[in-house]
Chain A
Amino acid sequence: AQTVTQSQPEMSVQEAETVTLSCTYDTSESDYYLFWYKQPPSRQMILVIRQEAYKQQNATENRFSVNFQKAAKSFSLKISDSQLGDAAMYFCAYRSNNDMRFGAGTRLTVKP
């Protein structure tokens, strides 16, 4: 079965600085998508960014970007110019036609 690993249970960053959250996954499939979801204290799950495995170009959404290394099965999230509102739990997720899996999450604290 596919697995998603987030090795950093907690991270902190100074406001306006950059932070990178790590995610690795294991799969034998070649066609899949990867996602990062944000869960603020409100508990709402919010899609931050997604990456198609066939695309070599890394996805970017404003201050959020990913470093997708398909051969290494790595999918890290970079948050630039961190803001207080970025404080949340972040989940990495993998989805194929047959499977959907989430990592254990990384709790991000933003210090003013």
Chain B
Amino acid sequence: EAQVTQNPRYLITVTGKKLTVTCSQNMNHEYMSWYRQDPGLGLRQIYYSMNVEATDKGDVPEGYKVSRKEKRNFPLILESPSPNQTSLYFCASSLSRTQREKLFFGSGTQLSVL
């Protein structure tokens, strides 16, 4: 089944403790991206990647890191999480970056930073 697999689904952590949210797609998609969803703000892009070893900042990249060493994986890293990073996170992918391509989303990660 074609899908974007995102883990974990829920995560509670404390300020400053490094964490990684994993994202993997099995559709050979070139484009992958991370979003955070906050009430009243919708989804805002954190980082995106056009292909392997090609990543770029989105609108809210501060406090986050990503890597794209393999085409299928695009992990989101929070080196030193803070309470303002408490949010719902989504990984998404599409065949390419072209505008007609719809995004395939993971099931989301609800992160709470205490």
Verify B88–A100 contact, CB threshold 8 A. no
B 47-87 to A, binary, CB cutoff 8 A, 1 in contact else 0? 01000000000000000000000000000000000000000
Verify B99–A32 contact, CB threshold 8 A. yes
Verify A95–B99 contact, CB threshold 8 A. yes
In the complex, chain A residues whose CB is within 8 Å of the CB of B92:
45
Verify A50–B40 contact, CB threshold 8 A. no
Distance, CA A100 to CA B34, complexed state (A): 11
Q: How distant is A2 from chain B, measured CB to nearest CB, in Å?
A: 11
Distance, CA A32 to CA B100, complexed state (A): 8
In the complex, chain A residues whose CB is within 8 Å of the CB of B14:
none
Verify B98–A97 contact, CB threshold 8 A. yes
In the complex, chain A residues whose CB is within 8 Å of the CB of B33:
100
Q: How distant is B95 from chain A, measured CB to nearest CB, in Å?
A: 13
Verify A104–B45 contact, CB threshold 8 A. no
Q: How distant is B101 from chain A, measured CB to nearest CB, in Å?
A: 8
In the complex, chain A residues whose CB is within 8 Å of the CB of B103:
45, 47, 100
Verify A52–B100 contact, CB threshold 8 A. yes
Tell me which of A42, A44, A45, A105 has the highest count of chain B C-beta atoms within 10 A of its own C-beta. Answer: A45
Verify B107–A44 contact, CB threshold 8 A. yes
In the complex, chain A residues whose CB is within 8 Å of the CB of B88:
43
- 11 A-B pairs in the complex with CB atoms less than 8 angstroms apart: A4-B42, A6-B42, A35-B102, A43-B88, A43-B108, A45-B105, A47-B103, A97-B97, A101-B45, A104-B42, A105-B42
Give 16 new A-B contacts, CB below 8 A, not counting A32-B99, A33-B99, A105-B42.
A6-B42, A9-B40, A33-B100, A42-B107, A43-B88, A43-B107, A45-B90, A45-B103, A47-B102, A52-B100, A91-B42, A97-B99, A100-B45, A100-B103, A102-B42, A102-B43
